[in-house]
Structure 1
């Protein structure tokens, strides 16, 4: 039995729910050596900045149990080179392209949106909010509801109405639902979660931090439970908002878990570093899982874990531990 794998990011139809995660496939050229990029739902680019960036000094990456710490520093060509070279290459091939953008001020995000609004080939814009706000003592936008909403509002006001704006959220907040709600109120058409939580590793031989930047973003299977929790909580609070679930997806089962939690699309990131075919494999595994369980449409599985099975169940989907719940209270639920 074939499964209808189509999904929607706001009003934009994607052929299937599998996308790359920002920063893990650059702008697609390297990955295209292994498979036709049109076979996945969308390609999410690396985060594009106004000016070219060399990134942080090395070492930039360190392996951890079931994860990877990285502190690349948004290295990239800048918006001019992206619009001249990378986006046209993707557009010529008809690749559904979600352009990730990053900035240090609200005005910088707005300037990026202004440059992209009339550029052909932009399927959606993902706003990377995990950037320091240089006008607020370097406080990360994603950790403040008002600052996140201000960025999203600026981008939404300057983007074409038919291009969805996706807010990418961080788990390093007291209340991810509050930030998600602020972004939606600010004009976000969809949400992406999670960005990498901050972590650190120390090399016991050198007795120094393993990364030159000291801290970095943690990705890989270790963070998948965080991603599932965030997707679950936000979908419960905002069930009508499309969510791209990202974080530690290695298999179709991992993708299915995020979909059951409420994601309508799933980003694949760190898995691509050791398996460039991971997106296609995960898509095949996911479709097989859906077919085995009798689903005719992917859409019917989205958020299904929030609903008790027919005939009733003792499982209470409304009892979701909130950010202020104590360990004692959580263990009693």
Structure 2
């Protein structure tokens, strides 16, 4: 029996459900030295903002007992530089390419999406391949509204999703914050505003203190916690989101094995993203693909559709 790991999100076919998570894989170049990225289902590139960002000062990454904390601050070259300098290399790989788009204001999101849409149309007219999907990161600080993350308040998030949906015809996945006041309500809102998928969860706000120096480790005070420590909570939220929407759900949060991925799929996910594990195992993507194929053969699962969402 030959099992199929194929899955589809908003018309975008993935040869397997593994997408490398934004912020943990760069734009793929570094990891391509360790294995063939054509094996992957997809890559979500480093998070982009309309204008280049230098990122946060001080310590940016700190290992925890069951994962890691990061305070990178969305360091990135900006949307225009990415489209001009990075996208061609990424689209040369036979894997789905997601552009992760963040912003500090609604205007930033709208303009960033418009640039990506213009690039899509230009490439289409020239017969060149472009990105397959936008992953809209609504967990960024809302500069104009007191620093509250768009991803926490449903109505604030609605305005962002609506404006980006108007700016592009590309498949659109919205990446949700675990700080959302109601993850099911937030997911349903995204679907109502035209999102083609939701992805969750982003990192949890966390803290580390250096007791010898009697100071906070991170210059910004708090940092994003990811890795195995958050997996049970992420799994619960993915299950709640999948029950609330009819669009595909992309699950993430502490996936470090094929069985972890199967849990998310059984909870309702169409695909899973791999983040922190990429730092632990530089060949994580290739190994997870092989391990999932072996698991499906062993369990006599012919298609992921057989197990997707089977947990009531």
Q: Provide TM-score, normalisation by structure 1.
A: 0.88
Please name the residue that 1:214 is paired with. Answer: 221
Q: Which residue of 2 aligns with 1:255?
A: 261
Matched-pair contact (CA < 8 Å) for 2:207–2:221: yes
- Aligned-residue Cα RMSD (Å) equals 1.2
Alpha-carbon distance in 1 for matches of 2:96, 2:211: 44
The residue that corresponds to 1:9 in the other structure is 9
Q: Distance in 2 between matches of 1:183 and 1:236?
A: 14
2:140 corresponds to which residue?
131
**How far, CA to CA, are the matches of 2:208 and 2:181 in structure 1?**
23
What's the offset of the Cα at 1:278? 0.4
In the alignment of these two chains, the number of paired residues is 303
Q: Which residue of 2 aligns with 1:275?
A: 281
Q: Name the structure 2 match of 1:315.
A: none
SS of 1:143 mapped into structure 2: coil
Compute the displacement of 1:176 (Å).
Answer: 0.6
Corresponding residue number in structure 1 for 2:117: 117
Structure 1: 4+ residue segments shifted above 4 A: none
- Name the residue aligned to 1:43: 43
Match of 2:305 in 1: 299
What residue number does 1:151 align with? 160
CA distance in 1, matches of 2:132, 2:202: 20
TM-score by length of 2: 0.94
Once the two structures are TM-superposed, the CA of residue 76 in structure 1 deviates from its matched residue by: 0.7
Matched with 1:287 is 293
Distance 1:95 1:259 in 2: 20
Computing the radius of gyration from Cα coordinates, the structure with the larger value is 1
Query: Where does structure 2 lack aligned partners over 5 or more consecutive residues?
Result: 124-129
- 1:78-93 aligned at under 5 Å gives the runs 78-93=78-93
CA distance in 2, matches of 1:62, 1:227: 21
Report the secondary structure of 2:311's partner residue: helix
On the 8 A contact 2:198/2:250 being kept in 1, the answer is yes
Q: State the secondary structure of the residue aligned to 1:89.
A: helix
Unaligned runs of 5+ in 1: 307-333
